Every structure is written in C-alpha cells, then in structure tokens.
C-alpha cells in the first residue's frame, strides 16, 4: 500500500491492513446514533455504522472490508468490533488500563477541590 497523507494511521485486523484517520464530528455523530438505545430501527443503525466506517477508512480498504464481510468466514463480528475500536480511539491515549489506587485517590482529591 502506498502512503496516503489523509489516512495516517494503519492497523491490521483479520489479515487486512486498513488505513484510517481520526474520526471527525460528522462520523462520530453517526457512530453515537448507531449505538443509541433509542434508535430501534436496525436499517438506520447499519447505515450509521457504515457511514462511520466509510468516513474514516481509505476507500480502497472500505471496498476490501465490504468484500470480506460478505464472502469471508474469517472476518466477522469480532474483527469488525476491533476495527471500530481502533478507529474510534485513533489519536487518543485510549484504550487505557485500569486506574491504580493512587490514581483514583488523586482524582478524588481533585474532585473535592473543584467542588469547593
């Protein structure tokens, strides 16, 4: 794959290398709408998820993803969730590990000083 400056991040999921970028506000809104418990229409949820994925991965990789989702038994729900997690956390310090006892204590102290 050649370098594409619009998609600076790379990850390999299910044997496919994906080029992706930090999600923008439009695609993050689509992701949130797809996950909303108030959205009971499955077709709209699928469309919103597709908007999130297609809006953040390279078009060539999106085509490969659609092909794999339809025809490949090796790329399923687990791999798709992994890809979504990596796109959703691009450019952040997430995912992070659990907080230690002392980190929780510092947060509690900070909360008390903010409330005062």
Whole-structure pTM value: 0.68
Q: What is the pLDDT of residues 41-56, one digit of tens each?
A: 888 888 888 888 888 9
Q: Whose CA is closest to 83, among 58, 57, 48?
A: 57
Residue 4 falls within a domain, yes or no? no
Residue 45 falls within a domain, yes or no? yes
Distance CA 47, CA 87 (A): 17
Within 10 Å of residue 37's Cβ, how many Cβ atoms? 5
Structural domain count of the chain: 1
For 106, the enclosing helix (H) or strand (E) is helix 101-115
Residue 56 falls within a domain, yes or no? yes
Residue 1 falls within a domain, yes or no? no
Residue 98 falls within a domain, yes or no? yes
Residue 2 falls within a domain, yes or no? no
Residues 103 and 72 sit within 8 Å (Cβ to Cβ): no
Q: What's the mean pLDDT in 8-29?
A: 90
Q: Which residues pair with 57 in a beta bridge?
A: 20
Domain interval for residue 48 = 9-115
Residue 20: what pLDDT?
93
């Amino acid at each position: 794959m050649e370098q594409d400056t619009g998609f600076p991040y790379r990850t390999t999921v299910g044997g496919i290398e994906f080029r992706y970028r930090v999600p923008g506000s439009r695609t993050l809104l689509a992701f949130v709408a797809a996950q909303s418990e108030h959205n009971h229409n499955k077709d709209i949820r699928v469309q919103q998820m597709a908007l999130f994925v297609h809006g953040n991965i390279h078009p060539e990789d999106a085509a490969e993803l659609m092909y794999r989702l339809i025809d490949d038994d090796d790329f399923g729900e687990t791999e798709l969730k992994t890809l979504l997690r990596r796109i959703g956390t691009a450019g952040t310090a997430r995912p992070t590990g659990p907080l230690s006892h002392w980190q929780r204590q510092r947060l509690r102290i900070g909360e008390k000083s903010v409330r005062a």
